[in-house]
């Protein structure tokens, strides 16, 4: 009997011609897999039976098939079962298919609706950052960046945010090769001051800028992390200084941080 047929036979309890029984067996196998969690990474046969209320013989048969296929591993020394390495490969395949723009967009729309301001998504590219997604604000007077525009990392909320989470060697490279030119009178061009701000950003979990790259524009940005916890992008709220009063400043900071955390969660990041 071919391997695929054997698996079908195992999961179907020997009833290859009974689709209903097969579906039930698949559901039971999934119940076994879903019994594992961060708090319960290893489970004994008896623990699994108790958790999913299933006979020992049925659980053992399904576990044996899952072990054979690499979805479950049996730690014989501990006498317990755990999720197998097969899931690592599958999770990587699933994450590759996630598109950051598509995942971030719904949250960005919510941020725009809650603030009325323009929401931008930036990613680091070399020694610069690039705008990869945008949701325009509702106001006639609003801040707009063109998708695909390359901007500096050393000034502006999103730029400083992305730079803050780079290794020291990369920070040095960016500051050296960028040239640190003035964009406005508020642009910071002293390396020590920039590094001090980068340290503060990592402590606070967000970045803030007021007229550093564009006169009259205020922005606040927060980090987006991938499933491994690596900062891969920055989401920002931007608009005219006049609309970023003390009350809005605090509210926008909270909103952008929460929005970035939601996007990160949707990318598979678990804090």
Nearest by Cα to 139 from 6, 239, 214: 239
Band (pLDDT 50/70/90 cuts) for residue 258 is very high
Average pLDDT, the chain: 86
| pLDDT for 218 beyond 80 | yes
Q: What is the 3-state secondary structure (H, E, C) of 92-158?
A: HHHHHCCCHHHHHHHHHHHHHHHHCCEEEEEEEECCEEEEEEEECCCCCCCCCCCCCCEEECCCCHH
Enumerate the domain spans of the chain: 3-93, 98-266
CB neighbourhood size of 208 (10 A) = 22
**Residue 243: predicted pLDDT:** 87
pLDDT in tens, 68-126: 988 999 988 888 999 988 887 776 666 555 588 889 999 999 999 999 999 999 999 89
pTM: 0.66
Can 3-93 and 98-266 be said to share one CATH topology? Answer: no
**Residue 227: predicted pLDDT:** 87
Are 198 and 164 in contact, with CB atoms under 8 Å apart?
A: yes
Q: What is the dotted CATH code of the domain comprising 98-266?
A: 3.30.450.40
Band (pLDDT 50/70/90 cuts) for residue 143 is low
pLDDT in tens, 222-248: 999 998 899 999 999 999 888 888 778
pLDDT in tens, 15-73: 445 557 778 888 899 999 999 987 888 999 999 999 999 999 999 999 999 999 889 99
Domain 3-93 has CATH 1.10.10.10: yes
Looking at per-residue pLDDT, the higher value among 269 and 19 belongs to 269
**Residue 18: predicted pLDDT:** 56
């Amino acid at each position: 009997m071919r391997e695929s047929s054997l698996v079908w036979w195992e999961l179907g309890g020997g009833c290859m011609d009974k689709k209903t029984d097969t579906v039930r067996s698949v559901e039971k196998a999934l119940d076994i897999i879903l019994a594992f969690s961060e708090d319960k990474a290893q489970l004994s046969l008896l623990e699994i039976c108790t958790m999913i209320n299933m006979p020992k013989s049925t659980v053992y048969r399904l576990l044996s098939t899952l072990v054979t296929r690499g979805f479950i591993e049996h730690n014989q020394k501990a006498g317990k079962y755990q999720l197998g390495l097969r899931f690592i490969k599958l999770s990587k395949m699933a994450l590759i298919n996630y598109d950051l723009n598509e995942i971030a967009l719904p949250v960005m729309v919510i941020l725009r609706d809650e603030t009325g301001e323009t929401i931008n998504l930036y990613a680091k590219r070399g020694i610069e950052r690039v705008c990869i997604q945008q949701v325009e604000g509702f106001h006639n007077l609003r801040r707009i960046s063109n998708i695909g525009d390359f901007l500096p990392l050393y000034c502006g909320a999103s730029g400083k945010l992305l730079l803050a989470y780079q290794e020291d060697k990369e920070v040095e490279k960016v500051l050296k090769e960028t040239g640190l030119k003035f964009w406005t009178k508020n642009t910071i061009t002293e390396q020590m001051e920039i590094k001090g701000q980068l340290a503060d950003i990592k402590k606070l979990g967000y970045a803030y800028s007021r007229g550093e790259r564009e006169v009259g524009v205020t922005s606040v940005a927060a980090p987006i992390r991938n499933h491994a916890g690596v900062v891969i992008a920055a989401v920002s709220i931007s608009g005219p200084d006049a609309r970023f009063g003390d009350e809005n400043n605090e509210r926008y900071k909270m909103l952008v941080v929460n929005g970035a955390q939601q996007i990160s969660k949707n990318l598979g990041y678990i804090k």
